[in-house]
Amino acid sequence: MVLVFLLMAFAIGLVIPLQSAVNNALGTALGSGAVLAALVSFAVGTLTLLMMGALTGQPFPALAGLPRIPWWQWLGGVMGAFFVFGSTLLAPRIGLAAMVALIVAGQVCSSLVFDRLGWIGLPVRGISWLRLAGAALILAGAVLVNFGDRWLAKA
């Protein structure tokens, strides 16, 4: 089962650049830019999740508990909107590879902190020198993807 989860994570990574490119094309087609493209993307995503919820028998009455949810748990939607809007805005401006390299580098850095501290109810996971080395390589890769050609051109 772990292999399935690993493959699913990889597949999500594969579609992030595609999502950004599709949302950028949507914004261009609408003549509106990133905000409305992100809005339409979220609307389609909401409908998709409603259908998935119905097909998998999710307990929709549980949504009645939403008024009791702590304020900070609502921030996931804000962060999702920031991601979709930001990636839609950035993809044509800095390129997909540069954008994704920086997103992944940021994700790895913050994830190591979350793993180590077990924030927000996540299980605590240690940070070994190998994990830090992996994060350093990802950061180096992000720098090379973003600036490597400029450095090479100067050489």
pTM: 0.84
Q: What is the pLDDT of residue 15?
A: 93
List of the chain residues with pLDDT < 70? none
Q: How many CB atoms lie within 10 A of CB 8?
A: 10
- Give the C-alpha separation, 66 to 74, whole Å: 9
- Give the C-alpha separation, 38 to 102, whole Å: 20
43-81 pLDDT per residue, tens:
999 999 999 999 999 999 999 999 999 999 999 999 999
SS3 at position 127:
coil
**Residue 21 burial class via C-beta count within 10 angstroms: exposed 0-12, middle 13-18, buried 19 and up:** middle
Dihedral over Cα of 87, 88, 93, 98: its sign:
positive
Q: What is the pLDDT of residue 1?
A: 84
